[in-house]
Amino acid sequence: MNLKNIDYYDIIFKNSIDPILFLKGDKLIDCNKTALDILKMKDKKELFNIHPSQISPKYQPDGKLSAEKEKLIIQECSKNGFIRFEWIHTDLNTKEFWVEVTLKKSTLNGEEIFIAGWRDISTEKEKEKTIENKNKELKEKYSQIESLNHVLNDIKDADLSEALMLLEEYKKALDESSIVSKANTKGIITYVNDKFCEISGYSREELIGKNHNIIRDPKTPKEFFKNLWEILESKNIFKAIISNKKKDGTIYYVNSTIIPILDSNNEIKEYIGIRNDVTSLYEKDEIITKQFTDNLTGLANRQKLVEDSKNFLFPKLAMININNFRDINDVYGIDMGDFILKEFSNKLLSLSNFNINIYRINGDIFGILASGNYSTESLKDLCLDFLETIRINPIKYDNQQLNLSYSIGISSGREWLLVEAEMALQEAKDENKTLVMNLENKNKDALKKKVELTNKIKYALKNDNLLIYGQKIINNITGKIKYEVLMRLKVDDKILSPFFFLEHAKKARLYHEMTRKMISLACDYFKDKENSFSINLTIQDITNEETVEYLTNVLLETKTNKKIILEIVESEQISQFEKVSLFINKMKNLGVRIAIDDFGTGYSNFEYIIKLNVDILKIDGSLIRNIHKDKNIFITVSTIVNFTKQLGLEVVAEFVDSKEVLETIKSLDIDYSQGYFLHEPEHLI
């Protein structure tokens, strides 16, 4: 055998039982099959050019951000040539696992690279945790024995009846503050306190002698309770948030601690459960989660897409539109339309992997977000392959094949990702193309169109073609009317809504001029009117010193400061409390009222509503439009209204488009209604 011809590197790299990965800078460039297996990845392409923190939890056990810690480790290895450390990674299914990483600096073609060897230490860590828990348990038991000895010694010197009375007081305090029950070793209830009866809706007689599954939430998986009993029967304390079902079928959530009570022979005698009602907190978290999820398809929604596009590396977006979908709804009905959307979503989900995420953006428009090493050309190929697959295996309804057509727009680059994708999609639809790519090196025709639109916006501003429209906001009890002022632009004898020009105006640096023009027109129009009125401001407006100064001067000159309501458009940037709070406080000192607009669009956070000194909350139309026929949305809006009322704020429901919706929101004691059913926007000046 000629050993000189053997590629030892290839043998070791490919056949190593330990994962081996290569990094260049702070990006992964190669790995062996063992690494792919542990990460649950199918192909090296999924790993190429991604940051190690992308296959890690956000924080490491020491509390440091994975991304920041990884940067420091690379720097240290580059300096010293070698480092060994422990790390938690996550696989494609987000399951965490421990590895001991041996990182060594090397060179390849004159460039610095790093070779990482992983040793799976998850089992070792589990054993360490078990030993740690056992030691903790022994310490607790020793502490309990010591405490008991002290109690017994005290009883020797004190009146026994007084000690028993003290224990009774402890029990009374526990009963007053918590939901308490006891059960025998078979799970049969032997005791419940008043709070248990109150929250469950059952009487004491209905509960005693029954199994605890009388309040079990049927949606809770059997594995949960199997794990619960394994922990308890091992004489360990079980802690978790558990969903239970009331007698009337309502679900509630309790933060539960279940303790096995041992006798003198160290055998389990009974179990005592101590619970606290956390339903309101859990519902709040559920609301926030739902705001990132499309109700119909279960896909992530537009708000989640916006969030992810800012967090993922090198994002690229494909927007897919089902052509003429409105015709399907009109001809065949909403049920068939909903079926198509669900089936299409399921087919799209088959594309998901580490670098591909799927979204329903709105209506009949879906999104495929690619990130990391996934190139724009690869995304284009993925989309075309998907269309071919769905052509061969089309969606069927009642055994009838539906030959649907689709348009796709693709963009890249973080700053204008959605806008550019929307432009590409619109171009594909206008020109009857299957796919259009709107990239940074877009062709001259597209650039020409942008220049033309910029010139038209400038011409409209110069010739007083920026118009203000008003839509009534009506008090649900008194009928009193106030107006929301809406911006429109007259271009080529067409009246355009902000959807068609606002983002482009921002790019062309005309946005602030348009905002100031709208402020001037609105205040001048309403200065002699009895009605109060509102205008929309974005974070860009309220953080622009010139705009804020202009707004202040116009309000004082027109004396509209006590008539106007400033609607701050909700976005992820509204969480910049310091800047927003400074603006709000300045305006409120002038007598201005403040509203949060579009609450419920995905960035909704009860915490900032509490912190910001606002007067009005406007619930977004995405929640209102189906409130009369979707129980979950009704519960969500009801929770928002109850929360808002407790803070003493007014509530406005947007997008009221039918009598049924209006009646439903009135039943929730919402103060004001706004929408096309009540009043279509009309030209003011």
Of 505 and 256, more confident: 256
Of 678, 209, 208, give the one whose Cα is nearest residue 481.
678
473 lies in the same domain as 560: yes
What percentage of the chain has pLDDT greater than the value 70?
Answer: 85
The pLDDT, as a whole number, for residue 3 is: 39
Contact of 30 with 21, CB cutoff 8 Å = yes
d(CA 115, CA 147): 55
Residue 543: exposure state from Cβ atoms within 10 A (0-12, 13-18, ≥19): middle
The pLDDT, as a whole number, for residue 552 is: 93
464 lies in the same domain as 558: yes
Lowest mean pLDDT among 274-288, 487-501, 521-535, 544-558: 274-288
253 lies in the same domain as 144: no
Is the confidence at residue 5, as pLDDT, over 50? no
The pLDDT, as a whole number, for residue 169 is: 63
Segment 18-26 mean pLDDT: 88
Report the domain count for the chain.
5
Q: Is 654 contained in some domain?
A: yes
The predicted-structure confidence for 607-641, as pLDDT tens digits, reads as follows 677 777 889 999 888 888 889 888 888 988 898 89
The pLDDT, as a whole number, for residue 2 is: 43
Q: Is 216 contained in some domain?
A: yes
The pLDDT, as a whole number, for residue 37 is: 87
Q: Is 288 contained in some domain?
A: no
607 lies in the same domain as 636: yes
Token pair belonging to 663: 């009646």
Highest mean pLDDT among 274-278, 288-292, 330-334: 274-278
The pLDDT, as a whole number, for residue 438 is: 73
Pairing verdict, β 466-475 and 672-673: antiparallel
36 lies in the same domain as 163: no
106 lies in the same domain as 185: no
Is-above-0.75 flag for pTM?
A: no
Q: Provide the CATH number for the domain around residue 321.
A: 3.30.70.270
Q: Is 293 contained in some domain?
A: no
The pLDDT, as a whole number, for residue 443 is: 47
Instruction: Report residue 527's pLDDT band, with 50, 70 and 90 as the boundaries.
Output: very high
248 lies in the same domain as 349: no
Segment 650-658 mean pLDDT: 91
201 lies in the same domain as 264: yes
In the 3-class helix/strand/coil scheme, how is 81-129 assigned residue by residue? CEEEEEEEEECCCCCEEEEEEEEEEEEECCEEEEEEEEEECHHHHHHHH
558 lies in the same domain as 634: yes
The pLDDT, as a whole number, for residue 497 is: 80
The pLDDT, as a whole number, for residue 575 is: 52
In the 3-class helix/strand/coil scheme, how is 476-532 assigned residue by residue? CCCCCEEEEEEEEEEECCEEECHHHCHHHHHHCCCHHHHHHHHHHHHHHHHCCCCCC
The pLDDT, as a whole number, for residue 114 is: 92
Of 409 and 108, more confident: 409
d(CA 245, CA 217): 5
Token pair belonging to 224: 């949960």
Q: Provide the CATH number for the domain around residue 599.
A: 3.20.20.450
203 lies in the same domain as 65: no
Averaged pLDDT of the chain: 82
Tell me the C-alpha to C-alpha distance, in Å, between residue 62 and each of 51, 84, 116: 20, 16, 21
d(CA 553, CA 547): 10
Contact of 383 with 369, CB cutoff 8 Å = no
Given 401, 417, 442, the domain boundary residue is 442
Segment 201-221 mean pLDDT: 89
Tell me the C-alpha to C-alpha distance, in Å, between residue 338 and each of 164, 332, 537, 628: 65, 11, 35, 17
| In 239-375, alpha helices (H) | 279-290, 302-311, 325-332, 334-349
The pLDDT, as a whole number, for residue 448 is: 59
The predicted-structure confidence for 670-683, as pLDDT tens digits, reads as follows 999 999 899 999 99
Q: Is 548 contained in some domain?
A: yes
Instruction: Report residue 650's pLDDT band, with 50, 70 and 90 as the boundaries.
Output: very high
Range of the domain at 374: 305-442
Q: Is 359 contained in some domain?
A: yes
Of 185, 191, 182, 256, give the one whose Cα is nearest residue 220.
256
Tell me the C-alpha to C-alpha distance, in Å, between residue 250 and each of 201, 395, 623: 10, 37, 22
Which SS3 state, helix, strand or coil, does residue 454 take? helix
455 lies in the same domain as 431: no
265 lies in the same domain as 353: no
The pLDDT, as a whole number, for residue 601 is: 60
The pLDDT, as a whole number, for residue 572 is: 46
Highest mean pLDDT among 165-169, 175-179, 669-673: 669-673
Segment 359-373 mean pLDDT: 88
The pLDDT, as a whole number, for residue 170 is: 59
Segment 151-175 mean pLDDT: 58
Q: Give backbone dihedrals phi and psi of 574, rounded to 5 degrees, phi first.
A: -65, -15
The pLDDT, as a whole number, for residue 318 is: 93
Segment 237-266 mean pLDDT: 86
Contact of 244 with 252, CB cutoff 8 Å = yes
Q: Is 289 contained in some domain?
A: no
Segment 57-61 mean pLDDT: 84
Lowest mean pLDDT among 146-155, 376-385, 402-411, 540-549: 146-155
The pLDDT, as a whole number, for residue 576 is: 61
Lowest mean pLDDT among 301-305, 583-587, 665-669: 301-305
Segment 139-167 mean pLDDT: 57
Q: Provide the CATH number for the domain around residue 177.
A: 3.30.450.20
The pLDDT, as a whole number, for residue 444 is: 45
Q: Is 428 contained in some domain?
A: yes
Of 439 and 553, more confident: 553
Of 443 and 62, more confident: 62
Is the confidence at residue 182, as pLDDT, over 80? yes
The predicted-structure confidence for 150-160, as pLDDT tens digits, reads as follows 655 555 544 55
Instruction: Report residue 484's pLDDT band, with 50, 70 and 90 as the boundaries.
Output: very high
What percentage of the chain has pLDDT greater than the value 90?
Answer: 25
The pLDDT, as a whole number, for residue 605 is: 61
